[in-house]
Amino acid sequence: MAEDAALQPRPAAGIEPVLEAKGLSQGQIVRKRFLGHTGAIIGLAVFALIFLLAFTSVGYLGLPGWWKYNHEQVSPLVNDGAPTSSLWPLAWGEHPFGQDRIGRDLFAMTMRGAQQSITVMVVIGLIAGLIGVLVGAIAGYFRGWAEAILMRLTDVIIIIPALLLAAVMAQLAGRRDSGSWFASFASTNGVLALGIFLGLISWVSLARLMRGEFLSLREREFVDAARISGASNARIIFKHILPNAVGVLIVNVTLTMSAAILTETALSYLGVGVKAPDTSLGLLISQNQQAFSTRPWLFWFPGLFIVLICLSINFIGDGLRDAFDPRQKKFNSKKARDDGGPAAGTPPGTPGGKSAVSAFDGSKDS
C-alpha cells in the first residue's frame, strides 16, 4: 500500500487541480472562483456604491432623491463655488463637489451624469449582447449562406465610423419640426435613443466571438447526441451550445459595457451625445473645459467617476473571465512552500526535492 501511495501522481505544489471542488455544481464553482477574485469583488463593491449613490441621491424616473438639489437648480454661490467638503476636519458642507459659474450644484450634476452613463451602458449591453448572440449563433451553427450573409453584414458595420453615424443621428434628432417618429423619439428620450443606437453598432465583435465558439462546439459529441435524440435546432442552440459559451458571452458583454461608457463620454464631449438641459459625465467635461485652470474641481469629479465606473466594470469582467474559464490557473508560491514544494535548485517534478525512486525506496524500508 505504501508503494502504491508513493507511486501515485500528485499535482505540482501551488497549482490547483482541474477539479477544484468535487461534488459542487458548475454554478457553485463559478461563484467560488469569482468570490475568490479580489479585484472583481472590489470592482463590484465600487460599482454598487456608485450605482446606489447615483440613483438614490437625485432621484430617477420621477422618484425623489435624498439630495436637496437637482442638476438644473441654481442657487447662490457658496465659498465662491469651491467644494465645501474636506477630509480633515471631516466635513460635507452645502456643496461638497462645488458649483459651476451660474450656481448649479456639481454633486447633483455628477450624479445625474453617472445615471445617464450607467443607463447607456446597460442598454448597450443588453442590445449588443442579444444581437451578437443571435447573429453569432446562427452564423456558427447553420454555416452556408446564412453565415456568408451575416458575416458580410458585420464587415459592413465594422468599417463605418461610429462617430459619423452618431453625428447623422444627432442631426436627425435635432430636426424636431420634421415630424418624423425618430426625431420625436430622440428629442424626448435622448439617452435611451443614444443607447439603442450605440447598441445597434456595438454587437459585431461579440458576434464574431460567438460564431467561433459555435463553430467549435457544434462538432462536439453532446451536440451529435442531441441531434440523434431528435432535438430541434433551436433547442440545441439555446439548451446545449449556448450554456457552454456563456463564459465568453458574459465576459465580452461586460467589456462592451465598459467601452460603451467611454464612447458615450466621447460623443457627449463632441456634442453629438447627451445634450442640455440634460447632462452626462462627458458633457460636464465638455462644458467646463475652459475652466480647467481656474475651477479644476469641475473636471476632477466627473472625470473621477468615469474612471471609477470603467475600472470597476473591467475588474468585474476579469473576475468573470477567471471564474468561467477553467484554464485560468495561477501559481501560488505561498501554497507551494506550505505544501513542501521543491526548493531552489531541486529538479522540477520531485516533491520536496526527492526523486520518485528515493520516495519509493524510503516507503519500502519502512
pLDDT of residue 103: 83
3-state secondary structure of 14: coil
DSSP conformation letters of 299-316: HHHHHHHHHHHHHHHHHH
3-state secondary structure of 86: strand
pLDDT in tens, 252-310: 888 888 888 888 777 777 777 777 777 888 888 888 777 777 788 888 888 899 999 98
| 29 has a pLDDT exceeding 90 | no
pLDDT of residue 329: 53
pLDDT of residue 207: 92
**Which carries the bigger pLDDT value, residue 134 or residue 82?**
134
Q: Rounded to a whole number, what is the distance in angstroms from the first to the last CA of the chain? A: 12
The least confident of 124-133, 140-149, 308-317, 322-331 is 322-331
pLDDT of residue 6: 47
Q: Taking phi first (over 0 means left), then psi (-120 to 50 degrees means alpha), and beta for anything else, what does residue 256 get?
A: alpha
CA angle 94, 95, 97 (to 5 degrees): 150
Report the distance separating Cα 171 and Cα 275, nearest Å: 12
Report the distance separating Cα 67 and Cα 55, nearest Å: 11
The least confident of 68-72, 164-168, 329-333 is 329-333
Identity of the residue numbered 150: L
pTM for this prediction = 0.75
| 49 has a pLDDT exceeding 90 | yes
Q: How confident is the model at residue 173 (pLDDT cuts 50, 70, 90)?
A: low
- Phi/psi of residue 75, each to 5°? -135, 160
pLDDT of residue 184: 57
pLDDT in tens, 51-64: 999 999 888 877 88
pLDDT of residue 14: 46
Q: How confident is the model at residue 159 (pLDDT cuts 50, 70, 90)?
A: confident
pLDDT of residue 275: 73
| 16 has a pLDDT exceeding 80 | no
Report the distance separating Cα 252 and Cα 132, nearest Å: 10
Residue 93 is classified by DSSP as -
The least confident of 50-59, 117-126, 186-195 is 186-195
| 43 has a pLDDT exceeding 80 | yes
pLDDT in tens, 211-236: 999 999 988 999 999 999 988 999 99
What is the b/e burial string over 278-298, where b = at least 16 CB atoms within 10 angstroms of the residue's CB? bbbbbbbbbbbeeeeeebebb
Q: What is the mean pLDDT of residues 16-35?
A: 70
CA torsion angle 245 248 254 255 (round to 10): -150
Among 177-181, 308-312, 341-345, top mean pLDDT goes to 308-312
- Phi/psi of residue 11, each to 5°? -65, 150
Distances (CA, A) of 45 to 61, 116, 313, 315, 366: 24, 20, 11, 11, 54
pLDDT in tens, 91-100: 787 888 888 8
Asked whether the beta carbons of 302 and 113 are under 8 A apart, the reply is yes
